[in-house]
């Protein structure tokens, strides 16, 4: 699987209140959530974002609350992938569970600038920065998580498991 | 090599024969919970699987606490989805408005959490129950949905870090200050993915409510869980619960002497003064004495961090016979109906109202900028809650300072951030 898109750069400790402020959590509709995605970090983000764009964050991306609405809002904004130096753990597991691809790469997070064109090769664990003509490596997921991702998220993966048992 | 308390609890809840950090396990849960924000999303996911029943009607807890009593039609609808689900699937532990409380204060009070439990909750502050010697961690709505069906949750076994406190606490210093001190030192990702184990003579003498405040904010250092080995204080707390909804007293675990830790920290409690976490990160910690120029518009005393009876008693002690500053709105929110009633019996509610404050029904409300005290652009609050991110309590251009209840009460009187000694 490869992804191609323009980088949308953010700083360290981007928290779930910035990704989707609690005032919008009165719905579970992904489109409504997407309309306010990243609003408290960049108020025009929803207007600027293009399908396939890639969010690039710094350390501890997605810290704060457990709201799955955060990765959902990002996914519904047609963001193809999130790259960060590191992820907060609940955001990380929520993304895996709902099938939002995320990649941890300190090198990439430090070097990539806003609007750089990126191509990510998930199988080989390589991020190519087409604008700067650089490459960065990332660790692939452990097999346990790859199974969930391959199934398209936790719900599909459990569906398979329950059917097998029956 | 011996196991940490966290590893012992996890091992007890899986089929694995051995356990080590980094290992993936499917763990059996004793209790799983969700609220009016996270449950509706989980119920949608649950619906996709076409399952007819839940794994155990007694082990699922649903609490409408965030936007309740419903603040508008959309949040009313979210609550309705949850209430209907609870009825349809005969969920025993659904707590309606009027019988509810902020989930992480309510569950221990109801005896739904016992030492040695493994608990997951679709709320990041689920880590609170570590105060009782349980392993508890926050997860997402999909995790909760799956858990309602299978009774299990996938977990990566965390590394543990050991945080030792020694020495007597200074006056006006409590569990909140100890955890703010820790977060200020290690940063908002200093314990990322780890189990934070608090220990030492200061902790051994720390009352239960203070232990709850500490474990509650483990997530603010990025931790997976916070935990304190259960002891006499834990035993007394468990035994005092009159209407325990689960039988027994749980299982008391502690770490082996040769258990392995990713790192350890030692803090001298005698050197810790009342602290305040400044905008916009919980790790931005300063001493109250450094912040006396900060004028405030609002004070919030409550939340899953500091809305328990001893928190209200402490605030009342500072406020007794005094008035809230004319420029300030003070909002006091007992965390549960039980605490509310106790505050009424002890005359605390009267004291807060006579001082010129609001005394509210239990709700998470203002902590997450939901309702019951939203900040306007440019406004500043001091609050006993747990987060001060941009826009957390309202407008992105407002500011939140975090403190213990005594500092919040003193600040309400002075109209600026104040040390309790200034008004006592």
Q: How far apart are CA B139 and CA A61, in angstroms?
A: 16
Reply yes or no on whether the pLDDT at A163 is more than 80: no
Give domain status of residue A158, yes or no. no
> Of chain B residues 353-372, which have a CB less than 8 A from chain A?
368-370
Q: How far is CA A22 from CA B132, B248, B305, B393, in A?
A: 29, 38, 18, 9
CB contact under 8 A, A94 and B188: no
Q: What is the CATH number of the domain that holds A11?
A: 3.20.19.10
Q: What is the pLDDT of residue A166?
A: 41
Number of alpha carbons in the 13 Å side-chain half-sphere of residue B203 = 27
Nearest-Cα residue of chain B relative to residue A70:
B140
A57: containing domain: 2-141
- Please give, rounded to a whole number of angstroms, the shortest distance from the CA of A80 to a CA of chain B: 20
Q: What is the pLDDT of residue B189?
A: 97
CB proximity list for B345: less than 8 A, separation 6 or greater: none
Which of B24, B121, B142 is facing A68, going by the closest CB pair? Answer: B142
Give domain status of residue A152, yes or no. no
- Please give, rounded to a whole number of angstroms, the shortest distance from the CA of A75 to a CA of chain B: 15
Give domain status of residue A163, yes or no. no
Q: How far apart are CA B187 and CA B173, in angstroms?
A: 20
Q: What is the pLDDT of residue A150?
A: 83
**B20 touching chain A per CB within 8 A:** no
Contact B176, B23 (CB under 8 A): no
User: For residue A17, which residues of chain B lie inside 8 Å, CB to CB?
Assistant: 368-369, 387, 389-392
Q: Per residue of chain B (424 residues), give pLDDT as tens.
A: 899 999 999 999 999 999 999 999 999 999 999 999 999 999 999 999 989 999 999 999 999 999 999 999 999 999 999 999 999 999 999 999 999 999 999 999 999 999 999 999 999 999 999 999 999 999 999 999 999 999 999 999 999 999 999 999 999 999 999 999 999 999 999 999 999 999 999 999 999 999 999 999 999 999 999 999 999 999 999 999 977 889 999 999 999 999 999 999 999 999 999 999 999 999 999 999 999 999 999 999 999 999 999 999 999 999 999 999 999 999 999 999 999 999 999 999 999 999 999 999 999 999 999 999 999 999 999 999 999 999 999 999 999 999 999 999 999 999 999 999 999 9
Give domain status of residue A153, yes or no. no
> Of chain B residues 253-272, which have a CB less than 8 A from chain A?
none
CB contact under 8 A, B124 and A159: no
B70 prior amide bond cis, ω within 30 = no
Q: How far apart are CA B291 and CA B47, in angstroms?
A: 51
Give me the number of domains chain A comprises.
1
Edge-to-edge, what's the strand order for the sheet holding B225-228?
B225-228, B195-199, B160-166, B263-268
CB contact under 8 A, B189 and A65: no
pLDDT tens figures, A11-54: 999 999 999 999 999 999 999 999 999 999 999 999 999 999 99
pTM of model > 0.95: yes
> Of chain A residues 31-70, which have a CB less than 8 A from chain B?
40-41, 43, 59-60, 63-69
Give domain status of residue A159, yes or no. no
Q: How far apart are CA B25 and CA B9, in angstroms?
A: 12
Give domain status of residue A160, yes or no. no
Best CA proximity match to A127, nearest among A5, A17, A29: A5
Best CA proximity match to B151, nearest among B249, B21, B57, B15: B57
Q: What is the pLDDT of residue A147?
A: 87
Contact B69, B364 (CB under 8 A): no
**B138 touching chain A per CB within 8 A:** yes
Domains of chain B: 5-251+258-266 (3.30.499.10), 276-422 (3.30.499.10)
Q: Has the ipTM of the complex gone over 0.85?
A: yes
**A126 touching chain B per CB within 8 A:** no
User: For residue A88, which residues of chain B lie inside 8 Å, CB to CB?
Assistant: 189, 192, 222
Number of alpha carbons in the 13 Å side-chain half-sphere of residue B173 = 22
Phi, psi of A150 (to 5 degrees): -60, -35
Q: What is the pLDDT of residue A149?
A: 84
Contact B364, B66 (CB under 8 A): yes
Best CA proximity match to A2, nearest among A120, A125, A131: A120
Specify the DSSP class assigned to residue B162: E
Between A56 and A123, the more confident residue is A56
**B130 touching chain A per CB within 8 A:** no
Q: How far apart are CA A125 and CA A140, in angstroms?
A: 6
């Amino acid at each position: 699987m490869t992804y191609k898109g323009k980088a949308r750069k953010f700083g360290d400790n981007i928290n779930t209140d910035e990704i989707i402020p609690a005032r919008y959590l009165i719905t579970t509709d992904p489109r409504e959530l997407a309309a306010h995605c990243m609003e408290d970090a960049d108020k025009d983000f929803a207007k600027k974002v293009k399908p396939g764009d890639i969010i690039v964050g710094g350390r501890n991306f997605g810290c704060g609350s457990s709201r799955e609405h955060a990765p959902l809002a990002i996914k519904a904004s047609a963001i193809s992938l999130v790259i960060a130096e590191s992820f907060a753990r609940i955001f990380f597991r929520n993304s895996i569970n709902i099938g939002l691809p995320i990649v941890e790469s300190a090198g990439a997070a430090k070097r990539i600038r806003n609007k750089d064109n990126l191509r990510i090769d998930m199988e080989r664990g390589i991020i190519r920065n087409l604008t700067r003509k650089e490459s960065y490596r990332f660790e692939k997921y452990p097999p346990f998580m790859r199974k969930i991702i391959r199934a398209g998220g936790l719900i599909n993966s459990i569906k398979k498991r329950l059917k097998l048992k029956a | 090599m011996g196991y940490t308390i966290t590893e012992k609890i996890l091992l007890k809840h899986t089929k694995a024969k051995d356990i080590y950090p980094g290992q993936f396990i499917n763990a059996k849960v004793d209790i799983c919970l969700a609220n009016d924000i996270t449950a509706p999303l989980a119920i949608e996911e649950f619906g996709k699987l076409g399952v007819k029943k839940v794994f155990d009607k007694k082990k699922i807890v649903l609490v409408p606490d965030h936007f309740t009593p419903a603040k508008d039609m959309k949040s009313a609808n979210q609550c309705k989805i949850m209430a209907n689900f609870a009825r349809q699937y005969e969920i025993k532990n659904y707590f309606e408005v009027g019988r509810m409380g902020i989930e992480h204060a309510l569950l221990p009070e109801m005896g739904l959490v016992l030492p040695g439990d493994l608990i997951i909750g679709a709320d990041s502050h689920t880590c609170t129950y570590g105060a009782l010697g349980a392993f508890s961690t926050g997860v997402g709505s999909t995790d909760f949905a799956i858990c309602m069906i299978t009774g299990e949750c996938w977990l990566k076994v965390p590394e543990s870090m050991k945080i030792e406190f020694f020495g007597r606490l200074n006056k006006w210093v409590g569990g909140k200050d100890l955890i703010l001190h820790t977060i200020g030192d290690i940063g908002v990702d200093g314990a990322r993915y780890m189990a934070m184990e608090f220990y030492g003579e200061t902790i051994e003498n720390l009352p239960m409510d203070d232990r709850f405040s500490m474990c509650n904010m483990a997530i603010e250092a990025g931790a997976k869980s916070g935990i304190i080995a259960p002891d006499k204080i834990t035993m007394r707390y468990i035994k005092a619960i009159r209407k325990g909804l689960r039988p027994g007293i749980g299982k008391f675990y502690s770490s082996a002497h040769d258990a392995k830790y990713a790192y350890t920290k030692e803090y001298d409690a005698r050197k810790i003064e009342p602290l305040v976490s400044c905008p916009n990160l919980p790790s931005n910690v300063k001493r109250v004495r450094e912040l006396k120029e900060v004028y405030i518009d609002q004070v919030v005393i409550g939340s899953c961090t500091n809305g328990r009876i001893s928190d209200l008693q402490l605030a009342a002690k500072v406020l007794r016979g005094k008035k809230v500053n004319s420029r300030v709105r003070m909002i006091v929110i007992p965390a549960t109906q039980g605490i509310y009633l106790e505050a009424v019996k002890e005359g605390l509610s009267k004291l807060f109202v006579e001082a010129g404050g609001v005394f509210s029904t239990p709700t998470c409300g203002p902590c997450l900028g939901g309702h019951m005290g939203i900040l306007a652009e440019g406004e500043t609050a001091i609050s006993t809650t747990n987060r001060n991110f941009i826009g957390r309590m309202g407008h992105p251009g407002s500011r939140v300072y975090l403190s213990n209840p005594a500092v919040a009460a003193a600040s309400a009187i002075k109209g600026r951030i104040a040390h309790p000694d200034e008004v006592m």
